[in-house]
Amino acid sequence: MITPMAPILEVKDLVKKFGEFAAVNGVSFDVGEGEIFGFLGPNGAGKSTTIGILTTLIPPTSGEARVAGWSVTADKDKVRHSIGIVFQDPSLDDRLTAEENLRFHARLYGVPRGEYLKRMESVLKLVELWDRRSHIVRTFSGGMKRRLEIARGLIHYPRVLFLDEPTIGLDPQTRNHLWNYILELKRTQHMTIFMTTHYMLEAEYCDRIAIIDRGRIIASDTPANLKTAVGEDVISLTPADPAALAAELKEKFGLTAIPVDGQLEIHVTDAESYLPKLLSQSRSGIRSVTLHKPTLEDVFIKMTGRAIREQEASAADRMRAHFHGGH
């Protein structure tokens, strides 16, 4: 587990209320320099509101948040200089070329002209859009626009990059591609990345995640630790002779096998190191093996009692009830 040495994001008791509805309801966490920290949760859980507060766009109702040591309420300009953002919804000027979008951004962030030309080339090459730099953004695909937004978020060398659902609406191939860029950035620039997602698989890329539900953090740790905390790995065996295998497992390994549909299931904490031992020492004939390790989905279900998907509908309903005269 990575323990943040010097927190670059410090959030304490953050609350944001819209009327009576608390979108963020007492959130605290720290993120260390160079970490990828993820907010995992359903839509409406308070992820985007938290990003809005950390990026100075939304004033908090109470609590404190600091980015690179600067307060998001008192030192807005300093915070804005220190961060890059890829918003959940597109925010490019699609009438301008890719290069014009970057130039506009670099000038507002005070990047000197000579320096800008160098960085523009390197970020556009990083996201493989260098050849398209003088094309109008309207002609770009969704994936290209997303990559351009990431390039734009990097050109002023932010200390923290905020990614709000960075791969939403992208196909799996583009999504993997994008993650390669992001991991490359972490390696080469030692950049801190704060991201939100409701894709379980995406959360696996994070050094640490906070699971957020209804405006509160309900768990925060490395993906591996979170998964270990919810339960053991499950090994399913298809035996030639179930009774013989069950007896052997009991005798040699002290394991109680549970018969499920002609298979035997055993629960262990560290299946990867257990399996070779099991297979080499067993004499009663195993035809096939499947292994299920707990996923972050399992973590979410265990913590909230619901799957993220069914959760989404109810969160959306709560928002609707709130914003359309529900009280």
Burial of 235 (0-12, 13-18, 19+ CB in 10 A): buried
Q: Which is nearer to other proteins, 77 or 251 (CB)?
A: 77
How far apart (Å, rounded) are the C-alpha atoms in residues 152 and 143? 14
> Which residue's structure tokens are 């972490």?
186
Q: Which is nearer to other proteins, 95 or 277 (CB)?
A: 95
Q: Which is nearer to other proteins, 156 or 198 (CB)?
A: 156
Q: Which is nearer to other proteins, 110 or 254 (CB)?
A: 110
Identify any residues that bridge with 37 across adjacent strands, giving them in sequence order.
194, 208
Q: Which is nearer to other proteins, 56 or 304 (CB)?
A: 56
The token pair that represents 58 in the structure block: 């939304």
Pairing of strands 286-292, 233-239: antiparallel
Burial of 228 (0-12, 13-18, 19+ CB in 10 A): middle
Give me the least distance between CB of 78 and other proteins, in Å please: 8
Cβ(255)–Cβ(249) below 8 Å: yes
Give me the least distance between CB of 76 and other proteins, in Å please: 8
How far apart (Å, rounded) are the C-alpha atoms in residues 289 and 295? 19
The token pair that represents 325 in the structure block: 């005269």
Give me the least distance between CB of 279 and other proteins, in Å please: 54
Give me the least distance between CB of 37 and other proteins, in Å please: 20
- Residues forming contacts to other proteins in the complex (CB under 8 A) are 55-57, 77-78, 80-81, 85, 87, 89-96, 100, 104-105, 107-110, 136, 152
Q: Go through 25-51 and write b for each residue having 16 or more CB atoms within 10 A of its CB, e for each that does not.
A: bebebbbbbbbbbbbbbbbbbbbbbbb
Q: Cβ–Cβ contacts within 10 Å for residue 108, how many? A: 10
Q: Which is nearer to other proteins, 113 or 327 (CB)?
A: 113
Give me the least distance between CB of 46 and other proteins, in Å please: 19
Q: Which is nearer to other proteins, 109 or 179 (CB)?
A: 109
Residues 6+ apart with CB under 8 A from 77: none
Q: Cβ–Cβ contacts within 10 Å for residue 246, how many? A: 20
The token pair that represents 93 in the structure block: 């000027």
Give me the least distance between CB of 131 and other proteins, in Å please: 21
Give me the least distance between CB of 254 and other proteins, in Å please: 59
Q: Which is nearer to other proteins, 19 or 305 (CB)?
A: 19
Residue type, 208: R
Give me the least distance between CB of 96 and other proteins, in Å please: 6
